[in-house]
Structure 1
Amino acid sequence: MRVVYTEGHAAHAPKRFIMRGEIGQSPEKPERAEILLTAAREAGHELIAAKPHGVGPAARIHDGGYLDFLENGWARWCELPNHADEIIPNVHSGRNMHQPPQHVVAEAGHYQADTACPIGPGTWEGALASSDVAVTAADLLCDDIEAGDRGAYLYALCRPPGHHAYADQAGGFCFLNNSAIAAQRLRDRGAAKVAILDVDVHHGNGTQGIFYTRGDVLTVSLHGDPAVYYPFFTGFAHETGEGAGAGANINYPLPKDTSDEAYLAILEDALETVATFKPDALVVALGLDASEADPLAFCKITTDGFRRMGQVIAGAGYPSLLVQEGGYISDQLGANLAAFLAGFEGNRA
């Protein structure tokens, strides 16, 4: 399998993560990508360095004011007296606050949904490099499709992840929505309809928000029940899209400790939904954090479960782009990726 990657992701190295009031080290660290890249290399996959594409592809998805904050907010933050070494909001523009931000502290609360997406001096460079991976892989897939290869597939090793990023808001370790950027790139290059299948353990709330009123991109997400799990406020089964997007957003909230067999049965149902949509290409938002060993564990998917997951998704037969989302450091992280890629590729042989 062709694996697109970048070393540029390492510019983003977050230090803090606040969960349930506890301040700890962020689990979304550069070592994640190093583990995944090593697993892909040792499995014999072809490595392809991403090409720079600038901010243009991200601007097809993201708000201009938000992109300006990501690129330049750090410089404004550094003008503050006694500023911290990362931008973390201490006030958010809640449901009773409606004025636009006029100060960098207000910008942080407006553009960062939570305290899991600290911004440091290299965050913009790292996030843009991650977007470059998604765009490079999407272009390669489009080249294959244009050449008549409807069975083509690639893996985009994106880090930091992206599916919690809205058009105008970071959240959940995510800044630029790589899966959404890839889907838009496929649309711009001729795919009439694109489906995004999100198998990360957390709901792809940013992706849902970006495409919620569009009918040309189907968003399907399997994830831990948001009644009790991040992101809490989105990902419920009744959220099915609006306007032109009515019926083009499907959520499958999963109970805690969902295991391989139950998950795979729901995945089969999700792929039937995708088949009804008849997409020209499939983007898989590939989270590995449904693993039984993940430090943010909610589900109990085994390494063999990831292999079978890859097989099932590959069996749908679409030109496919696998975009890395979550999956945090554990003894099984590299093995889970290797298993998924092997299962996918084995069912396309």
Structure 2
Amino acid sequence: MKTFFSEDHRRHFPQAELSGGEFVTPFERPSRLEYVLSRLHERGLRDIVAPGAPDMEAIRALCAPDYLAFLETAWSEWKAAGMAGEIIAASFPARRMQTARPPRNIDGKVGYYALAAETAMTGGTWAAALSSAASAQAAQAHVAAGAKSAFALCRPPGHHATADMYGGYCFINNAALVADAFRRDGAQRVAVLDIDFHHGNGTQDIFYGRGDVFFASLHGAPEDAFPYFLGYADETGQGAGEGANANYPMPPGTAYDVWFGALDAALARIRDFGAEALVISLGTDAYKDDPISFFKLDSPDFLDAGVRIGKLGLPTVFCMEGGYAIEQVGINAVNVLEGFLDA
């Protein structure tokens, strides 16, 4: 399996995250990928290449133009306004406020496009987000050209990003880009399976009204886990997308014997949907010692999950998402890949 990875991810490294009422070193940090790369080499998966330039036409087809313009210019506007620190949202358009008029002031504009305050932006965030998207696009092109699978080692991750909002450490939705590319390359039906602990609210939002992309997510119950306001089991799609969205929320303490039941149910739905290509949002924060999650999967469980996914036999692109038990993130992510290959 070929891995696509850009060193430009390092250009996004905020020094602070708001967590538990204090500023901490972000859980999503560059060193996460070092552990994944190390494990890939250790296990002999050494075919690692840099992507080319991002396909901006495809990104513009997925994302709102004003949102992309914001991402590109936010840092220069922030600095021009005399802001000394990193970009962190401080105000949001809440219930019964205006939501159709983006503010001119950059402080207000940040809150308009943010869906949460934990995600800071820096001078290198835009370049890093584009390099992450490019890795996903290159992995999809590789599979569309005939490879059975590919791994996009994306950072920043993407599954919380909608077409017009960032948050949850995500700016451009890499998995959605891949799914959309498979459709444009001729696949009639595509599935996205999100196994990250946190609900893939951005991916759901992008495809919720479409019937050609099936989305399934296994995640912490929204009553208890970020992003809180989406991910309920009764969210099944709307319009043409009715029935093409499946959520599997699970409570604190969920272990693998329950989790793999949800996985098997999601895989059955994907099989019944008739998907011709598969995108995996590969988060490993369902791991038992993850600092911002509450499932109890162990490292061998990720190997078995990969086997179960591999038995679908579909052309598959893996996009790296979360996983914040940093010393185990490489083991757990590569276990999924190896299980998939073993299948």
Q: Deviations over 1:265-302 (max 9, x none)?
A: 11111101111110110000010111012121310110
- Which segment is superposed worse, 282-291 or 45-54? 45-54
User: 3-state SS of the aligned residue for 1:256?
Assistant: coil
Counterpart pick for 1:339 among 335, 338, 342? 335
- Does 2:171 align with 1:175? yes
Q: Deviations over 1:34-66 (max 9, x none)?
A: 111111122111212211124222212111000
Residue in structure 1 matched with residue 253 of structure 2 by the alignment: 257
Residue in structure 1 matched with residue 123 of structure 2 by the alignment: 121
Counterpart pick for 1:326 among 322, 326, 336? 322
Question: What is the TM-score with the length of structure 1 in the denominator?
Answer: 0.95
Question: What is the Cα deviation at residue 234 of structure 1?
Answer: 0.3
Amino acid at match of 2:2: R
Question: What is the Cα deviation at residue 85 of structure 1?
Answer: 2.3
| CA RMSD in angstroms, aligned pairs only | 1.1
User: 3-state SS of the aligned residue for 1:3?
Assistant: strand
Mapped partners of 2:274, 2:337: distance in 1? 24
Amino acid at match of 1:254: M
Amino acid at match of 2:189: K
Residue in structure 1 matched with residue 57 of structure 2 by the alignment: 56
Q: Is the 8 A contact 2:143 2:317 kept in 1?
A: yes
- Does 2:26 align with 1:26? yes
User: 3-state SS of the aligned residue for 1:120?
Assistant: coil
Q: Is the 8 A contact 1:134 1:158 kept in 2?
A: yes
Identity %: 40
User: 3-state SS of the aligned residue for 2:169?
Assistant: coil
Mapped partners of 1:335, 1:217: distance in 2? 30
Amino acid at match of 1:115: A
User: 3-state SS of the aligned residue for 2:237?
Assistant: coil
Structure 2: unaligned runs, 5 residues or longer: none
Q: Is the 8 A contact 1:282 1:321 kept in 2?
A: yes
Mapped partners of 2:60, 2:41: distance in 1? 32
User: 3-state SS of the aligned residue for 1:197?
Assistant: strand
Residue in structure 2 matched with residue 155 of structure 1 by the alignment: 151
Counterpart pick for 1:239 among 235, 238, 241? 235
- Which segment is superposed worse, 295-304 or 90-99? 90-99
Question: What is the Cα deviation at residue 209 of structure 1?
Answer: 0.4
- Does 2:11 align with 1:15? no
Q: Deviations over 1:161-183 (max 9, x none)?
A: 00000100001000000000111
Question: What is the TM-score with the length of structure 2 in the denominator?
Answer: 0.97
- Does 2:83 align with 1:87? no
Counterpart pick for 1:274 among 252, 270, 273? 270
Counterpart pick for 1:130 among 132, 136, 141? 132
Q: Is the 8 A contact 1:194 1:279 kept in 2?
A: yes
- Which segment is superposed worse, 175-184 or 111-120? 111-120
Q: Is the 8 A contact 1:57 1:135 kept in 2?
A: no
Q: Is the 8 A contact 1:194 1:281 kept in 2?
A: yes
Residue in structure 2 matched with residue 213 of structure 1 by the alignment: 209
Structure 1: unaligned runs, 5 residues or longer: none
Residue in structure 1 matched with residue 285 of structure 2 by the alignment: 289
Q: Is the 8 A contact 1:4 1:48 kept in 2?
A: yes
Mapped partners of 1:49, 1:283: distance in 2? 20
